[in-house]
Amino acid sequence: MADIFRSERTFQVWHYTAAHHDRLLLRSTADEANHRRVDLYVESVRGLLLESLYRGIVIREGTPEEVREVESGYGIPVTSEPVYLHVIGEERMRGFIVGGPLQWHEDYGGFRDPSHFGPLPGTA
């Protein structure tokens, strides 16, 4: 399957809320090597399995086999529209997000500045 997003940067789970449209934010903060921060955002999250930190990240569309695995092994429906299975990991599934489309934004925001994707409780 095709990559949706790929980066060698470090990303961490920055925010998740089950209220306010079930939103997830993964963030790579700005540092001396990378002067811009990158936010990865998914809303309408129906399920997820994530590590707290990724040193380099590949997010791709889930294969039909992975869709079946998530549906049968975790009980999370993926085949209803408009739901996407975002798989983390190039060779094997290291995690997943089931929800709306993956969006990303790069900017010069600071460590605790609000995201481009709107106010998320606890991020401002």
- Alpha helix locations (H) across 42-113? 64-74
- CA 108, chain centre distance (Å): 20
pLDDT tens digits, one per residue of 1-53: 678 999 999 999 999 988 777 999 999 999 888 899 999 999 999 999 999 99
Q: In this structure, what DSSP letter does residue 43 have?
A: -
Contact 117, 57 (CB under 8 A): no
Q: In this structure, what DSSP letter does residue 63 have?
A: P
Chain position carrying tokens 């992975």: 66
pLDDT tens digits, one per residue of 83-101: 999 999 998 899 999 999 9
SS3 71: helix
Contact 124, 109 (CB under 8 A): no
Q: Which of 14, 9, 17 is nearest to 27 (CA)?
A: 14
